[in-house]
């Protein structure tokens, strides 16, 4: 008789452990999307910080040198430096920026030697954060000329 009581208790303990694992799994399923959103929001805030830092550095470079650089590395060469470090794009794996040029490329489409006046992310993802009234990350621009000064052409 005593043997049967022990086996029933073991079954109850196993069922209780299974129920706890199931409840923990449900909590994880609820928490993971929230965690992913928080991680993306943090990356986007980092992108805004880095993009604005590069835009400010381009603005200072232009004030000091009277022109825009043709490579971002030029920002590190002038003394005193206008930026602490050359930041990478946190939204893409390769970390490379798409450049915004002060002049349009010629017929050949070559951008070599053109002055860089801003950067934008290459990411095509929708954002959690709305920046510059835009929710697509690729549409966020970080330029030496602030966006509130540049006419959009749609204001009538």
CA angle 90, 95, 100 (to 5 degrees): 95
Residue 69 near residue 116 (C-beta atoms within 8 A): yes
**Residue 109's pLDDT band (cuts 50, 70, 90):** confident
- Confirm whether 15 is domain-assigned: no
Q: How much is the pTM?
A: 0.75
- Confirm whether 34 is domain-assigned: no
Residue 90 near residue 140 (C-beta atoms within 8 A): no
**Residue 3's pLDDT band (cuts 50, 70, 90):** low
DSSP, res 142: E
CATH code (residue 120): 3.30.700
Q: Looking at the predicted structure, is the pLDDT value of residue 156 above 80?
A: no
- Confirm whether 120 is domain-assigned: yes
Q: Looking at the predicted structure, is the pLDDT value of residue 2 above 70?
A: no
Distance CA(122)–CA(28), nearest Å, equals: 32
* Predicted local distance difference test score (pLDDT) of residue 10: 63
**pLDDT digit string, tens, across residues 114-132:** 999 999 999 999 988 889 8
Domain, as residue range, for 106: 42-143
- Confirm whether 2 is domain-assigned: no
**Total of domains in the chain:** 1
């Amino acid at each position: 008789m005593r043997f049967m009581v022990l086996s029933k208790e073991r079954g109850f303990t196993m069922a209780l452990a299974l129920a706890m694992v199931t409840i923990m799994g449900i909590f994880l399923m609820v928490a993971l999307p929230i965690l992913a959103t928080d991680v993306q929001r943090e990356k986007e805030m980092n992108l805004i910080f880095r993009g604005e830092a590069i835009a400010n550095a381009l603005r200072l470079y232009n004030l000091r040198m009277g022109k825009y650089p043709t490579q971002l590395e030029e920002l590190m060469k002038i003394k005193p430096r206008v930026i602490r470090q050359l930041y990478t794009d946190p939204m893409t794996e390769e970390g490379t920026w798409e450049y915004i040029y002060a002049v349009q490329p010629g017929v050949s489409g070559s951008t070599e030697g053109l002055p860089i006046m801003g950067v934008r992310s290459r990411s095509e993802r929708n954002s959690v954060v709305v920046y510059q009234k835009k929710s697509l990350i690729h549409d966020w621009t970080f330029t030496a000329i602030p966006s509130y000064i540049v006419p959009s052409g749609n204001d009538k």
